[in-house]
Amino acid sequence: MSWQYLAAEGGPTLTGGDRGIVVVVAVIALAALAVGYVLLKEVLAAGQGTTKMQDIAKAVQEGAGAYLKRQRNTLTIFGAIVFVLLFFLPADGWGERIGRSLFFVIGAGFSFAIGYLGMWLATQANLRVAAAAREQGGRETAMRIAFRTGGVVGMSTVGLGLFGAAIVVLVYAGDAPKVLEGFGFGAALIAMFMRVGGGIFTKAADVGADLVGKVEQGIPEDDPRNAATIADNVGDNVGDCAGMAADLFESYAVTLVAALILGSTAFGAQGLLFPLIVPALGIITAVIGVYITRAKAGESGLTAINRSFYISALISAILCTAAAFIFLPSSFSELDGPSDPSIGGNPAVIATVAVIIGIVLAGIILWLTGYFTGTEYKPVKDVGKSSLTGAATVILSGISVGFESAVYTAVVIGASVYGAFLLSGSLFVALFAVALAGCGLLTTVGVIVAMDTFGPVSDNAQGIAEMSGDVDGEGAAILTELDAVGNTTKAITKGIAIATAVLAATALFGSYLTAITEKVTEIGVDPSDIAAFSLSIVSPNVLVGVILGAAVVFMFSGLAVNAVSRAAGAVVYEVRRQFHENPGIMDGTVRPEYGRVVDICTRDSLRELATPGLLAVLAPIAVGFGLGTGPLAGYLAGAIATGTLMAVFLANSGGSWDNAKKLVEDGNHGGKGSDAHEATIIGDTVGDPFKDTAGPAINPLIKVMNLVSLLIAPAIVTLSIGESENGVLRAVFALVAILLIVGAVFVSKRRGTAIAENPAEAVTNGAA
């Protein structure tokens, strides 16, 4: 397939029948929202326990709501700036510019709304799960409430994501992919900020609570005497629920964007519609998966959840196979639109196999992540056993688990990408197949979100039970079991989110190439004649881009972990101060000042948003305008490769430390209060920012950088060749981006120095 062919073809047109299909997809998306509402009413109808439990839950609800309100105000300013800047990027007319900016706002709004819903409902459900555990047959009821809470968020995620994409296709038809760039960018940008901010909040509170409460004072994790406990529970909701819900929504949106952009090129009109049909079928299977999740007597909750996932995945594979052979022809010559009729192969077969690859990938990641982070498997048992020789060996063994699991996960993801790529000899059909593999994975997102939300809801339920003292005996054991299951489901969903990010980013490579080609051909130049547009890895300038892309992932991860360290330090000082100045806290006669810790975490986490956010947006601008489109492609490749390994390493090492602590707390290796327990607590505190801050934030980071590159590619081309060539302006853009990044990092580093030199002031001001 030639460069000229790719650029010469316009977007496909939609017939009345095609529009009817899109309308049906939009109706299915709305039906998902309706199912979510039914599940919501069921969750809220459950009992709310004792007055004391309700008071604790109310404090968590108020703290989480206040945080997200302040975060919304911060993100609104940033979003308004991006909204305006999008108008100045190249586009085919003002209609496309307006649509792109408008749907940037819609994507950002949907992303925040999903995150807010996840937070709000989790703070309502945790109380109800704790109350259910006290009742007869409480295990099944508590598990059902927790999982169906996630079902509400899952249905909302797939419903809003698919509805937004369907509306864009209805309104813009063949030009929809360009407008959808804004929709995906808005979703990804807000998700990244919510992931970073929520992650810093939750892990600052968690680490501070553990280090002072469990290690220094020797009191339980959720003891009401610890001033950081409310902040810890708030953090579970703004980080794990709000952050992950927004993250999975943007994964859904960005994968659809990549599939629609490539589909319109590879398959014509059918390529614009089939990526909508696949996730629409996924909604049906998600509903089935949520409703069939029931733990049998004596059966592990994780076994029940996994069984539901595999059943729904199998149903998805069957439905998508049928849809491919019904909707797609058996020859490329029969496709409607710009696809090259000389391409060999069967479009229906290619689409079917690609979607099944994505579904199988989700299942393998589920098993693989569960193996490396589950309490019943050897890796976590080995980490737990290492606690007998101290914290250092716990940390070393957890790091080794993370390194090893990253290799296996990367190989599995790489095999899936390559398998989809081999389905066609045409580059763009092969890239579309990769995007369809991502769509196949999307069919499981409804259940995946339910699995993820299950974790923090169960964790918070146990915290409310322990703080209130109103749940004991069998009820407490039920909540402990659900919490351990939730740790594993959270790790699993992180692994699947990483896989989705890689598939989406790989597919966006094709979109990036298309954007460059269209602009170059519009100027009247053959890109194959210009060395600057070479994407060959053997070119030194492209290799430099690869190195820079890898470096940015390390810098981003370091900034996130360091932010948690600074904020956690402030929490430690504050909790210590309260224990020191109010001895009555330990004997229960004085109530801790919970609000001060919540305020510290809120202010620190929101302040720390700027630096990693600027790095994600400005680094591609610096590389693209400074070095060119070839090095920028290398930059994206380096970021994807390194980001995949880093995200899995951070997530799984942190998950293994967390569950190793659970093993010891269950009575192994000396149990609670032993030296082994203290060693695993240290490991867990190291793993907290790994698995819940830096690791998950890499997913939206990769996609934000890809989308920024896609949006600026035409501008880079315009300033690089032809009558509009302007090396000075390119250099100015690159230099400004570099200076802003350096300035943000410098300010961030000064914060670290401040806490080291004047900790007392850090406590007083609630600043790190």
pLDDT digits (tens, 9 = 90+) for 210-230: 888 877 888 876 778 888 888
Is 328's pLDDT higher than 80?
yes
Q: What is the pLDDT of residue 336?
A: 67
Taking the CA of residue 236 as centre, how many other CA atoms within 13 Å lie in the half-sphere pointing to its CB? 33
**Residue 5: CB atoms within 10 Å:** 14
Nearest to 695 by CA among 657, 643, 620: 643
Is 1's pLDDT higher than 50?
no
Domains held by the chain: number: 1
Rounded to 5°, angle at Cα 44 from 43 and 45: 90
Question: What's the rounded mean pLDDT across residues 161-176?
Answer: 84
Question: What's the rounded mean pLDDT across residues 703-730?
Answer: 85
Tell me the percentage of the chain whose pLDDT exceeds 70: 92
Q: What is the pLDDT of residue 259?
A: 85
Give dist(CA 493, CA 369) in Å, integer. 9
Residue 8 pLDDT level (bands cut at 50, 70, 90): very low
Question: Of the segments 75-84, 526-535, 593-602, 650-659, which one has the largest average pLDDT value?
Answer: 650-659
Q: What is the pLDDT of residue 278?
A: 93
Write down the H helix ranges in 87-175.
Answer: 94-133, 138-172
Residue 67 pLDDT level (bands cut at 50, 70, 90): confident
Average model confidence (pLDDT) across the chain: 84
Give dist(CA 108, CA 183) in Å, integer. 7
pTM to 2 decimals?
0.85
Q: What is the pLDDT of residue 238?
A: 79
Q: Quick: pLDDT tens for 485-538.
A: 887 787 788 888 888 888 888 877 777 777 777 777 777 666 554 544 556 666
CA distances from residue 759 to 40, 492, 566, 752 in whole angstroms, order as listed:
45, 38, 10, 11
Is 342's pLDDT higher than 70?
no
Residue 4 pLDDT level (bands cut at 50, 70, 90): very low
Nearest to 442 by CA among 261, 190, 274: 274
Is 330's pLDDT higher than 80?
yes
Is 321's pLDDT higher than 70?
yes
Q: What is the pLDDT of residue 536?
A: 65
Residue 318 pLDDT level (bands cut at 50, 70, 90): very high
Question: What's the rounded mean pLDDT across residues 697-708?
Answer: 88
Q: Quick: pLDDT tens for 238-295.
A: 777 777 778 878 888 888 888 888 887 778 788 888 999 999 999 999 899 889 888 7
What tokens does 385 get? Answer: 């056993």
**Any idea which residue has 């709004």 for tokens?**
109
Phi, psi of 536 (to 5 degrees): -65, 130
Is 10's pLDDT higher than 60?
no
Question: What's the rounded mean pLDDT across residues 19-47?
Answer: 92
Is 9's pLDDT higher than 60?
no
Q: What is the pLDDT of residue 758?
A: 42
Q: What is the pLDDT of residue 700?
A: 85
Of 127-141, 337-351, 465-479, 610-624, least confident by mean pLDDT is 337-351
Q: What is the pLDDT of residue 355?
A: 94
Q: What is the pLDDT of residue 538?
A: 67
Q: What is the pLDDT of residue 317?
A: 94
Q: Quick: pLDDT tens for 534-580.
A: 566 667 888 899 999 999 999 999 988 988 888 888 888 888 988 88
What tokens does 580 get? Answer: 């020191």
The 8-class DSSP code of residue 12 comes to: P
Is 762's pLDDT higher than 70?
no
Is 337's pLDDT higher than 60?
no
Full residue range of the structural domain in which residue 529 is found: 3-765
Q: What is the pLDDT of residue 137?
A: 67
What tokens does 334 get? Answer: 């029969």
Q: Residues near 688 by Cβ (< 8 Å), separated by ≥ 6? A: 203, 206, 207, 564, 654, 658
CA distances from residue 176 to 348, 458, 674 in whole angstroms, order as listed:
23, 41, 60
Q: What is the pLDDT of residue 13?
A: 73
Give dist(CA 630, CA 645) in Å, integer. 23
Q: What is the pLDDT of residue 188?
A: 85
Residue 765 pLDDT level (bands cut at 50, 70, 90): very low
**DSSP state letters, 639-693:** HHHHHHHHHHHHHHHHHHHHHHHHHHHTTGGG-TTSHHHHHHHHHHHHHHHIIII
